[in-house]
Amino acid sequence: MFKDKPLEKRREIYRSLMKEKSDRIAVIMNKGVGDGIAKLQKKKYLLPPNMKLANFTQEIRNRLKLDSRESLFVMFNGKIYNAQQTMSEIYNMCRDPEDGFLYGTYNTEVTFG
């Protein structure tokens, strides 16, 4: 997992990304618990701040090549947010204060605890 890297390394990566694209939201996505879903090839995303969570969730669905009958849940800090919230709203509530990244998980079933 990305968060297993030393804090200073994560900060360095964040600073490097923000130097290139300071107007973007830096998001790290990790697979949730369970075997029912594939791993994303790409875990780091630089998203426009006005992107809706619904659009980002659809992007994840497309990358995972999920069947239309399969549900996908995207969570930040263990919570599911309104699909119409912007990524900047979620970032402001949930970003990691130590390294600046927004960490999320995805799963095909809701798993709490």
Q: Is residue 93 part of a domain?
A: yes
CA geometry: angle at 52 spanning 48 and 17, to 5°?
25
CATH number at residue 34: 3.10.20.90
Phi and psi at 47, nearest 5°, equal -110, 145
Q: Containing domain of residue 103, as a range? A: 2-107
pLDDT in tens, 77-93: 999 999 999 999 999 99
CA distance 29 to 27: 6
pLDDT in tens, 5-51: 999 999 999 999 999 899 999 999 999 887 677 889 999 999 999 99
Amino acid in position 80: I
Q: Is residue 113 part of a domain?
A: no
Q: Is residue 23 part of a domain?
A: yes
- Cβ-Cβ contacts under 8 Å for 54 (sequence gap 6 or more): 83, 84
The tally of domains found in the chain comes to: 1
